[in-house]
Amino acid sequence: MSNKNEKIKNQEAAPPDANLSSAVAVIENNAPVMDPKLHAARYNRIITRAILYFLLSVGALVVLFPLIWMILTAMKQPGTAFKFSFLPDSLSYEGFSKLYTLDNFKKVFAEFNFMKYFFNSIIVASLAAVFATTFACMAGYVFAKKNFIYKDLLFYLLVATMMIPGMMYLVPQFVITVKLGWFDTYQGLIIPHLANIFGVFMMRQFMRSIPDSLIEAAKLDGASEWQIFTIIIVPMAMPIIVTLFLLTFLFHWSNFIWQLVITKPGSAILTIPVGLAYFSGPHGSEWELMMAASCFSIIPMAVLFLIAQNFFIEGMTKGAVKE
């Protein structure tokens, strides 16, 4: 008993630094030694991740190189588009001004009426994407959740038409459009491509995964067909709806052939794909101006894809229902 009391008195009398050092010593002596295999696995994981990041960076540079080349070419002086020189001779204002200029962007709007082409493309691509996506969504819902005679046969016949090359439709569509009086009009640019069989196929395949129990429960609650479609089906199918909208918008935004044949030269409803052709003449092409116009033409698509990311996530969370 006396020995314990003496130890307690010695510990109380010991300075704080001594107690701290003794505690650290005990911890260091009892600390486990890392297993060599675990250390090697951790080292290999770090090396693998570094190699993966390096390869992804190289791939990103390869993918972004055409975009970077287009932007730099758009700012080059006239006649220097095909000179593979992107760094000035001297890092000064004079050096950069000899190689780059912003006058190309000003000429695009001042001399070629590019703003009119831009707004025409916005109108045509937006309206076509909205109506084509709406019709495909409705048709996909019918083929996925409704029963009627020859449903599967009709669906497979529609899908079979996708194997016909698109150029085969060009002449019949042009003749019908002209006879309807839609030549060189917005109707002629938009309406002939509203029947999107690929969109119907996408919608039908996605909506088949929606539980039928939700529709049956909504019917028991007294919901109409329109309420079932707008309140249940559309929110759950939002990811595929947004995807189809973007694909349709991109198709009409860059549909050069149809927009060329259905409009007159110098028309007031010319779009960007046709307008870019005016930068090429019989005596050469103004590549710097063409690249400057192309820089503006990708802005709507970039903005839409950035905004659509939020809609993808929101649509997936709304459709996260387990039967």
Mean pLDDT by groups of 10 residues along the chain of 323 residues: 49 48 48 62 85 92 87 79 70 70 80 84 93 93 90 91 85 91 91 90 88 88 88 87 88 89 87 81 68 84 79 52 43
Q: Where are the domains of the chain?
A: 36-101, 112-318
pLDDT attached to residue 206: 87
Strand-pairing partners, residue 76, are 100
pLDDT attached to residue 57: 92
Kindly state the tokens that stand for 41: 């696995």
pLDDT attached to residue 254: 86
Q: How far apart are CA 321 and CA 210, in angstroms?
A: 8
Q: Which residues contact 279 (CB under 8 A, 6 or more apart)?
A: 112, 285, 286, 287, 289, 290, 293
pLDDT attached to residue 92: 66
Long-range contacts of 296-305 (CB under 8 A, 24+ apart): 296/105, 296/108, 296/114, 296/118, 297/118, 297/121, 297/253, 297/272, 298/67, 300/121, 300/122, 300/125, 300/253, 301/249, 301/250, 301/253, 304/246, 304/249, 305/246
pLDDT attached to residue 178: 92
Residue 76's φ and ψ, nearest 5 degrees, are -80, 160
Kindly state the tokens that stand for 92: 């000064």
Which one of 1.10.3720.10, 1.10.238.10, 3.40.50.300, 3.30.300.10 gives the CATH number of domain 112-318? 1.10.3720.10
pLDDT attached to residue 4: 47
Kindly state the tokens that stand for 164: 């016909």
Per-residue pLDDT reduced to its tens digit, 103-144 = 788 888 777 778 888 899 999 999 999 999 999 999 999 999
pLDDT attached to residue 29: 52
Q: What percent of the chain has pLDDT over 70?
A: 79
Greatest alpha-carbon pair distance for the chain in Å reads: 117
Distances (CA, A) of 80 to 33, 76, 83, 92, 287: 64, 6, 5, 19, 9
Residue 221's φ and ψ, nearest 5 degrees, are -80, 0
Q: Could you give the angle at which helices 287-297 and 36-74 cross, rounded to 10 degrees?
A: 120
pLDDT attached to residue 322: 43
pLDDT attached to residue 132: 94
